[in-house]
Amino acid sequence: MNPLAADPPSAQVPATGGTSSHSLVNSGASRIAFKVKSSNNDEYRLKPVFGFVDPEAASPVEIFLEAPDEVTDLQSLFKERSPQGEVVLRIKAE
């Protein structure tokens, strides 16, 4: 069993911009180093990219999507558009 898991295990960030907060949880007995990768670095930002998770502890990770410059009225934007996708947070310890 992999001692490292993401909580929650997936992320949904509005296409208009926003943040999704997660914890990397280490259920093992050893300290784990992690590196978070993204297949879309042009739009999504991750913080932190590198870190450690102590045994039986958790480390916070945030996923950011910057809002487009042309967006000024968020309420009308949500009424005019439907969701355009989701981001799935997959974690693999190597």
Per the domain annotation, does 82 fall within a domain? no
Would you say residue 38 lies in a domain?
A: yes
Give the Cβ contact number of residue 37 at 10 Å: 10
Domain CATH for 47: 2.60.40.10
Instruction: Give the count of domains, the chain.
Output: 1
What whole-number distance in Å separates Cα of residue 70 and Cα of residue 39? 25
Report if residue 87 sits inside a domain: no
* Structural domain includes residue 80: no
Residue 57: give the domain boundaries.
4-69
From residue 29, alpha-carbon distances to 17, 33, 34, 50, 94 in Å are 37, 13, 15, 20, 16
Q: Is the pLDDT of residue 29 over 90?
A: yes
pLDDT at 93: 36
Q: How many CB atoms lie within 10 A of CB 90?
A: 10
- Mind listing the pLDDT tens digit for each residue in 32-81? 888 888 888 877 889 998 899 999 999 999 988 876 677 666 566 556 55
Instruction: Tell me if 61 is assigned to some domain.
Output: yes
Give whole-number Cα distances, 32 to 54, 78, 79, in Å.
Answer: 6, 40, 43
